[in-house]
Amino acid sequence: MKDDAYNMIISRAEGSFRDAVKLLEQASMSGAPVTLEKVSETLSASRGERITALTKHVISGETAAALEVIDRAAGDGTDMKSFTADLLREARRQLLERVGEKVSGGNRETGWTPEDTGRWIRLLNQAYADLRVSPLPQLPLELAVVEFSGFRTPVTRASVVTESPQTVKPESPDQPRPKTGDDPGGLTTQRLEQHWKDVIEELKPLNHSIAGVLRSARPKNVSGGTVTIEAFYKFHQEKLSEAKTKESITGILKKLFGETVKLEIILGKK
């Protein structure tokens, strides 16, 4: 291996022996001599497209699509440290571009403002720092995407209970709704799907991160006093299955629908 190729690998690994080994393995997969050009090609091959795609999904609020890009990159053995560093470079470019445009309110098409970009950069910085202690290399970046989505994505609230034009005596907050077989306010799969955004919105003040995770999941079924939520990533299923998280979600369901339910989290196919 040429010295210049060796130096580039060392530079990108930033002192990490494990990262250096990964980069060397990727560059030597074809069996050809490891040259500077080969290392550069390995580092940039498809990564530029993924950086662009991930940034686009984050800007557009497409959390699930952004997580899919990260999942594919991790599955291909991409070094998440250098991948996150490249994302930071792209975010910095976006920041300078937004400030340079001096467009009031940010980009007209996406609503991407300098403030949004700054928040994204801070989350990426935190993800980069967390890589050293994370058991899963992709997890810090996935959490950054979810947390940013929770901060930025606007949610249009729909009233769960249709307001009557007549003046009615308000119910006590602790008074349960009357449950009858004809009660249109009962919790059903259809009603939960219709008001899923309301559930997420109510959860945001309690936990932005979990609200973001919930946005990437969906209500699967309501039956026999059990609400089944379908997550599409293993770590999402694990986060939503935590006792504290379940308690928060069931509390919100009781607040919105007046029913005490159990929660089941399943892993669905993407």
Q: What tens digit of pLDDT does each residue of 103-129 get? A: 444 444 455 678 888 889 999 999 999
Per DSSP, the three-state class of 14 is coil
Strand partners, 227: 222, 263
Least confident of 75-84, 110-119, 196-205, 220-229: 110-119
Strand partners, 228: 221, 264
Q: 265: pLDDT confidence band, cut at 50, 70 and 90?
A: very high
With a pLDDT cut of 70, the percent of the chain lying above it is 68
pLDDT reported for residue 135: 84
Of 61, 46, 219, residue with least CA distance to 145: 61
Least confident of 196-200, 222-226, 235-239: 235-239
91, 58 Cβ separation under 8 angstroms: no
pLDDT, mean of residues 24-38: 68
pLDDT reported for residue 167: 46
Q: Which domains does the chain have, with CATH numbers?
A: 46-152 (1.20.272.10), 189-267 (3.30.300.180)
pLDDT reported for residue 43: 59
Strands 226-231 and 218-223: antiparallel
Q: Is the pLDDT of residue 207 over 90?
A: no
Strand partners, 219: 229
- Burial readout 153-189 (b: 16 or more C-beta within 10 A, e: otherwise): beeeeeebeeeeeeeeeeeeeeeeeeeeeeeebebee
225, 261 Cβ separation under 8 angstroms: yes
pLDDT, mean of residues 73-100: 85
Of 21, 119, 28, 160, residue with least CA distance to 79: 21
Q: 176: pLDDT confidence band, cut at 50, 70 and 90?
A: very low
